[in-house]
Amino acid sequence: MNPLCQLHQLGQSVWLDYIDRDLLTSGELRQLIEEDAIRGVTSNPTIFDKAISGSDAYDAQIKELTASDPGVSVQDLYEKLAISDIQQATDTLRPVYDESEGGDGYVSLEASPRLANDTDGTLAEVRRLWKLVDRPNLMVKVPATKEGIPAIETLLGDGYNINITLMFSMDHYEAVANAYLKGISRAPAALRPASVASFFVSRVDAKADKALEEIGTPEALALRGTTAVANSKLVYRRFREIFDGDGFADLRAKGARVQRVLWGSTSTKNPDYSDVLYVEPLIGADTVNTMPPATIDAFRDHGKAIAAVEDDIEEEEARLSQLKALGVDLDRITEELQEEGVKAFADSFEHLLSTVESKRKALASG
């Protein structure tokens, strides 16, 4: 049996961390849904940048939009391109959304990264994008920054589906879970918003490994490639404590959804590591793994679908204790990763707008 389909049987949904116009118009997304049990799509500015710069599939729409409104701003132009893709993807995934009664079938669209540290701006942006896309299976991505957390709570209380991103630590996760519980406790029962807590994985190893290599002892080098999974497994344990506990029991009885943990950044950056390193150990119930196409291909080819996210917890705790004993400050690393992530997303967004403007000019000049 296809290992990707087995993941769904184990309670983990696979979402595709990629989108482009060809994927949608060729029927490839529909094929992934039917054959590989893909149950959602995530996007970000970097993905749209690659899609628009690397294809002529957007050229006709750019020409049309520019002809109808020669003064259209580059951001409005990008949004119209992106929203067309998001709408088509949500429509393609609508049967999954309906069949799962809103459990899956979502497509995520990033709120402007320029607003990561602006609570009121984020609130207005999410409401605006929601109205423009006008699909019930949209999820808007909001980062788990200090200013993002109150926006997340308010938006969930208003019934919006939110994908909370840029989480790297237990503190980040607990703040997001708490915002979810507070938000949905105020949400009208009829809305039942859905949410995922996107916990980033591989980037933790990239930074922790660098620190371990600088120490250079055999004990330090032996820990390379282990920090990210250990960090993630402990967050999953905390997730189970929160959502299996008394604090969620009343909300569950009223029909509230569990806020699933979504494993993000699951492509393997270090070529010395397994290309399914951030998939196999993190399989478990009530989780999502959003994978880029290469990771989906790798897991389909040789992945082992075994529920493992609750295995070896004591060993994972011991690894993190060893990390601390060696002088590697995981809390500092994860805070740096969130700060760097906010900047990287903002930089990527600016590059995306530059790409759209360059393509508009190129098409205008023939």
Number of structural domains the chain divides into: 1
**What's the 3-state SS for 249-286?**
HHHHHCCCCCCEEEEECCCCCCCCCCCCCCCHHHCCCC
**Which among 2, 1, 7, 5 is positioned nearest to 305, based on CA atoms?**
7
Does the annotation mark 146 as catalytic? no
pLDDT, one tens digit per residue, over 253-309 is 888 999 999 999 999 999 999 999 999 999 999 999 999 999 999 999 999 999 999
Confidence of residue 321 (pLDDT cuts 50, 70, 90): very high
* Angle made by CA atoms 101, 95, 132, in degrees to the nearest 5: 90
Lookup: tokens for 350: 């600016």
pLDDT, one tens digit per residue, over 144-199 is 999 999 999 999 999 999 999 999 999 999 999 999 999 999 987 767 899 999 99
Query: Domain range holding 89?
Result: 3-365
* Angle made by CA atoms 48, 53, 55, in degrees to the nearest 5: 95
Lookup: tokens for 295: 């990771």
| CATH number, residue 321 | 3.20.20.70
Q: pTM of the full predicted structure?
A: 0.96
Distances (CA, A) of 249 to 224, 243, 255, 257: 39, 8, 10, 11
**Which among 292, 324, 114, 124 is positioned nearest to 208, based on CA atoms?**
324
pLDDT, one tens digit per residue, over 327-343 is 999 999 999 999 999 99
Q: How far is the C-alpha of 16 from the C-alpha of 11, rounded, in Å?
A: 16
Tokens 């393997």 belong to residue? 268
Q: Which of 50, 63, 141, 304 is catalytic?
A: 141
Lookup: tokens for 316: 């994972």
Share of the chain above pLDDT 70, in %: 99
